[in-house]
Amino acid sequence: MADLWQSAMDHAVAIARKAGETIREALLNDRKVTTKSSSVDLVTQTDQKVEKMIIQSVKERFPAHRFIGEESVAAGEASNLTTAPTWIIDPIDGTTNFVHAFPFVAVSIGFAVNSQVEFGVVYSCLEDKMYTARRGKGAFCNGEPLQVSDQTDVKQSIIATEFGSSRDPEVVENIFSSLRKILCIPVHGVRGAGTAAVNMCLVASGSVEAYYEIGIHVWDVAAGSLIVTEAGGVLMDVEGGEFDLMSRRVVAANNKTIAERIVKEIAAFQPERDDHSPQ
Ligand SMILES: O=P(O)(O)O[C@H]1[C@H](O)[C@@H](O)[C@H](O)[C@@H](O)[C@@H]1O
Ligand SMILES: [Mg+2]
Ligand SMILES: [Mg+2]
């Protein structure tokens, strides 16, 4: 049976690669920074320019499709995931890294139908690594198959997480409480690439056993969520229930054993959901 979404996925790969070229050029000469939800939640003209380019290119080919884009939402658009074919776009995942020329900067494009991700594309453009996954057809990096780690002992694991963009003392306390408890299991190490999408691709690649974070958005994790599961990994909510794309909470792991062990140590809290209805 012809794959209904293959042409859309091919377009996503092509436009992610083009976006990566734009980002690499901008890295050399245009990193003007402004801020969003806090003084450390950064955005640049390149984030906005890349998102507009991706959305415009999709609209020309798939005019009926819908969008959830990080910078469109920041400009006031709703972020409701419906049953319609929806492109979930983070034009630059790792904007802080981009501003500092720290070498992990990704373009993340997820595609959902009936609120289920059908393909995911994450282009780590400074590494030139194109991560892709199509539901039921595996996950790849530059065309090579991906497989999660087979480690089941958390004490032999590396765990990835991020400090996020909130500096609210209560949120920071939660983050450090979880970090301290996980580090002292003990695990071999804790790492963070500075981008949720790349962290999830590191889980899919078997380089880290798990990644967790509270405070991310649907555009950070939509593409990576399918790349992880198509590489044999699992997704979970930080309190052990089912992963929810719009909840702003994620545990992505190589297997259920590691995921459940990490969940035990996380000081969970519930940020405002991505699909919250504004008052
Ligand atoms: O770089 P962006 O797209 O803003 O996404 C990152 C977010 O800003 C950080 O707060 C998170 O900790 C990262 O995981 C996101 O990748
Ligand atoms: Mg992001
Ligand atoms: Mg971003």
Please check the confidence at residue 3 and state whether its pLDDT lies above 90: no
Check whether residue 16 and residue 102 sit in a common domain. yes
Q: And the tokens for 30?
A: 């245009």
Q: And the tokens for 203?
A: 């889980």
Please check the confidence at residue 277 and state whether its pLDDT lies above 80: no
Check whether residue 118 and residue 26 sit in a common domain. yes
Check whether residue 98 and residue 200 sit in a common domain. no
Q: Is 47 considered catalytic here?
A: no
Check whether residue 116 and residue 175 sit in a common domain. no
* CA nearest ligand 1 atom 2, residue: 93
> SS3 of 277, please?
coil
Domain that holds residue 204: 154-263
* CA nearest ligand 1 atom 11, residue: 164
From 125, 145, 165, give the residue that closes a domain.
145
Q: Are 94 and 60 in contact (CB under 8 A)?
A: no
- The active-site residue out of 95, 161, 195, 229 is 95
Q: Is 220 considered catalytic here?
A: yes
Please check the confidence at residue 2 and state whether its pLDDT lies above 80: no
Check whether residue 133 and residue 77 sit in a common domain. yes
90 annotated binding-site participant: yes
- Whether 164 is in a domain gets the answer yes
Mean per-residue pLDDT, 95-124: 98
Beta bridge partners of 266: none
Please check the confidence at residue 1 and state whether its pLDDT lies above 60: no
Mean per-residue pLDDT, 197-225: 98
Please check the confidence at residue 29 and state whether its pLDDT lies above 90: no
- Determine whether 226 is exposed, middle or buried from the number of CB atoms within 10 Å of its CB (0-12, 13-18, 19+): buried
- Whether 277 is in a domain gets the answer no
Say which ligand is closest to the CA of 104: 1
Say which ligand is closest to the CA of 92: 3
Give the β-pairing of 234-236 and 42-44: unpaired
Q: ipTM value of the model?
A: 0.98
144 annotated binding-site participant: no
* CA nearest ligand 1 atom 14, residue: 196
Round to whole Å and give the CA distance between 93 and 267. 25
Please check the confidence at residue 26 and state whether its pLDDT lies above 90: yes
Amino acid at 115: S
- Whether 163 is in a domain gets the answer yes
Round to whole Å and give the CA distance between 32 and 237. 36
Supply the pTM of this predicted model: 0.97
Would you state the pLDDT for residue 142? 98
Would you state the pLDDT for residue 28? 86
Round to whole Å and give the CA distance between 235 and 241. 9
Round to whole Å and give the CA distance between 87 and 14. 14
Round to whole Å and give the CA distance between 8 and 119. 9
- Determine whether 269 is exposed, middle or buried from the number of CB atoms within 10 Å of its CB (0-12, 13-18, 19+): middle
Would you state the pLDDT for residue 279? 60
Mean per-residue pLDDT, 244-257: 98
The chain-wide mean pLDDT, for the chain, equals 96
Percentage of residues in the chain with pLDDT exceeding 70?
Answer: 98
- Whether 273 is in a domain gets the answer no
What are the Cα distances from residue 221, in Å, to 152, 155, 215, 239?
Answer: 24, 26, 11, 17
Round to whole Å and give the CA distance between 109 and 113. 14
- What are the helix (H) ranges across 164-252? 169-183, 196-204, 218-230
Please check the confidence at residue 278 and state whether its pLDDT lies above 80: no
